[in-house]
Structure 1
Amino acid sequence: MNLESPKVTVDKSSEYLFTALTDVKNFEKLMPDTISKFEVLGEDAFIFGLKGMPEIKLKMKEQTPNSKVVLGAASDKLPFTLTGNIISLEENKSEVQLLFEGQFNPMMAMMIKGPISKFIETLSQNMHKL
């Protein structure tokens, strides 16, 4: 299952956004209002919970300076990645798009597609809070 957030333009440099997104503490600022738990588990991992959803642990998987940050599920039960692509538009203006890629059975995919789509859309819309 592959989902894409809308592209958002942020009045920050790609370098600033990359640095902010590689610091897992900053993901708390991006979370939706329905967050029920957020806990940093180390320099490269955090766990979060949204009301009505199981808690999810994310771990930093890959980084490409100033252009890409990839987080992945720390559990094999729900294998997925969340990729933040950053494109520099001007010195202090960048475009960010989040991509969700997961391996789920058709029933699970049908159940989580709506909530996950809304979740990554909210994360991208909150990029200006970084």
Structure 2
Amino acid sequence: MTIIQNTIDINKPVAEVYAFLADLNNHEQLMPENIYNWTSTTDEASFTIKNMAKLALKMSQRIENKELVCVPTTETPFAMTLRWKLAENSDNQTNATFVIEAELNMMMKMMASGPLQKLVDHQVNTLKQIMG
């Protein structure tokens, strides 16, 4: 199992960060420019990654103000789970960690680790910009 993650502190209450992330409609704002054909509901999203693949995700678990888990609903090149972990630092600060857990063989790890790390970094930094 390959774990790719990044953590950031956001100056907002954990409930506010959780509410934003709990709705997959909001996740389009977190995506990099190479994502297009985005369609979503509160619980599901599908999109295309330029020059790569079409992906569909669904929210599989929500633990209020603590964790959100998304899993693919269509076949993917490798098994993966996308997980947001939230922790309250203080009344007005949240620690947010975005984790991608992927079953990558050696070849896939060499090809996918860089782009997946860029995605994780982009999403946490964009979340901090959006949330202020």
Same fold per superposition (TM over 0.5): yes
RMSD of equivalent CA atoms:
1.4
One-letter code aligned to 1:66: N
Residue-by-residue CA offset, 1:36-77 (whole Å, 9 max, x unaligned): 23111x331101223222121111011111011111111243
Structure 1 Cα separation of the partners of residues 43 and 61 of structure 2: 10
Distance 2:123 2:14 in 1: 17
Asked if residue 57 in structure 1 is aligned to residue 56 in structure 2, the reply is yes
- Consecutive aligned runs of 4 or more in structure 1 exceeding 4 Å deviation: none
Q: Find the counterpart in structure 2 of residue 80 from structure 1.
A: 80
In structure 1, how many angstroms separate the alpha carbons of the residues matched to 2:48 and 2:93? 31
| Unpaired runs of at least 5, structure 1 | none
Number of positions where the alignment pairs a residue of Structure 1 with one of Structure 2 = 128
TM alignment of 1:1-130, pairs within 5 A: 1-5=2-6, 7-40=7-40, 42-77=41-76, 78-128=78-128, 129-130=130-131
Looking at structure 1, the residues matched to 89 and 44 of structure 2 have their Cα atoms a distance apart, in angstroms, of: 29
What residue ranges of structure 2 are gaps of 5+ in the alignment? Answer: none
Q: Are the equivalent residues in 1 in contact too, given 2:22–2:42 (CA < 8 A)?
A: no
Q: Which amino acid aligns with 1:48?
A: F
- Deviation at residue 109 of structure 1 after TM alignment: 2.1
Amino acid at match of 1:92: N
